Chains A and B, each alone.
Chain A
């Protein structure tokens, strides 16, 4: 009985001190999460749909096919800044390779990149957000962050296939930071 009691007492100490240490570590870590932030927040603004028959969802932004995205990439407006691409993956993935001239926006740490994306995105006619593709939903949540920050919902769209689809077509990839000039057709 005494043995069981001492076990529970020790476990309680581990839990209480451990949780306090964990909270402190999260606060001190540069990668720590903001405890008051809802990272799966749904949109408070009406979102654009591809068609009226499309089912409504408060966190899914209108999607573009790969043909539409390729067409936007080749549009002169892309070079002129009227069309903006935003990469919603982690910084390390962005540096490994992204759509040329895309802006990085890690949705878990938007403070770093959001100002630059807004400067480019607010006057743009189209903003295309992508992530890895497939089951990845970061592009939708990053698009919502942009919409909540003031971008017109009808001008923000998601490239559903993401970088996986882009690479599968052997379309150009830029390595390193945005504007590094290291552009090529790198294999996945």
Chain B
């Protein structure tokens, strides 16, 4: 559907763009998901730092399941299975995680006075401590790619 807005792209170009988009997003989710899944203790601590889940057992379940779910979504995207549904799930996760990261960054910014774009912490995103501003820009790009896949024509 979104590609219909840009009719200048030939259909072969659309197919290649769609294939490339899901492959890049898929590789990204597999890589970041595996980083977390293979170091679940680090991910558990990062989630705990957000302070939004009060029940420790719920934290354990989130840290145990979420990374592998990301890997699963990444594999589905790479294999081209249920692309729209997977991209919709990925979009939901990206929006939710970005809101959490933004909320925590704003709290840190208020508490410490560090300029927002210089705030750096381990957001539990799978690649250690990162600059929050950069992470949010990255997530916005991934969210746009996911949205494009959700709106793409079902083949």
Contact: B56 with A41, CB < 8 Å?
yes
Interface string of A1-15 (1 = CB under 8 A from B): 001001101111111
**Contact count band on A:** 35 or more
* A22→B68 contact, CB < 8 A: yes
Asked whether A26 and B64 contact (CB < 8 A) given A18-B89, A38-B57, the answer is: yes
Beta-carbon contact of B68 and A26 below 8 Å: yes
Query: Is B71 among interface residues, defined by CB-CB distance under 8 A?
Result: yes
Contact B73 A18 (CB under 8 A): yes
**Stretch from A27-35, A43-51, A69-77, A148-156 forming part of the interface with B:** A27-35
Tell yes or no: A36 within 8 A of B by CB. Answer: yes
Q: Which residues of A contact B40 (CB under 8 A)?
A: 26, 31-33, 108
Residues of B near A12 (CB, < 8 A) are 85
Asked if A15 and B89 make an inter-chain contact with CB atoms under 8 angstroms apart, the answer reads yes
Judge whether A90 and B41 touch: CB under 8 Å.
Answer: yes
Contact at B64–A32, with CB atoms within 8 Å? yes
Q: Which residues of B contact A38 (CB under 8 A)?
A: 56-57, 60
> Among the interface residues B40, B61, B68, B72, which one has the most CB atoms of the partner chain A within 10 A?
B68
- Interface residue? A19 (CB, 8 A): yes
Contact yes or no, B89 A108, CB < 8 A? no
Partner of B65, one of A11, A23, A107: A23
Q: Say whether A106 faces chain B, with CB atoms less than 8 Å apart.
A: yes
Within 8 A of A (CB), among B43-80: 44-45, 48, 56-57, 59-61, 63-69, 71-73, 76
Is B71 a contact partner of A11 (Cβ separation < 8 A)? no
A13 and B82 contact, Cβ closer than 8 Å, known pairs A22-B65, A33-B63, A38-B56: yes
Bound Cα distance A94, B88 (Å): 41
Q: Does A40 sit at the interface, judged by CB under 8 A?
A: yes
A33 touching B64 by the CB < 8 A rule? Answer: yes
Residue A182, interface by CB 8 Å: no
By a beta-carbon cutoff of 8 Å, the part of chain B in contact with chain A is 37-42, 44-45, 48, 56-57, 59-61, 63-69, 71-73, 76, 82, 84-86, 88-89, 150, 154
Q: What are 25 of the A-B contact pairs (CB < 8 Å)?
A: A10-B84, A10-B86, A11-B88, A14-B76, A14-B85, A14-B89, A18-B69, A23-B65, A25-B37, A25-B71, A26-B68, A32-B40, A32-B64, A35-B57, A35-B61, A37-B60, A38-B56, A39-B44, A40-B59, A41-B56, A90-B41, A106-B41, A107-B41, A108-B41, A109-B41
Q: Which residues of A contact B (CB under 8 A)?
A: 3, 6-7, 9-15, 17-19, 21-23, 25-26, 29, 31-41, 90, 106-109, 138
Closest 6 CB pairs of A and B: A10-B85, A22-B68, A108-B41, A25-B68, A11-B85, A26-B64
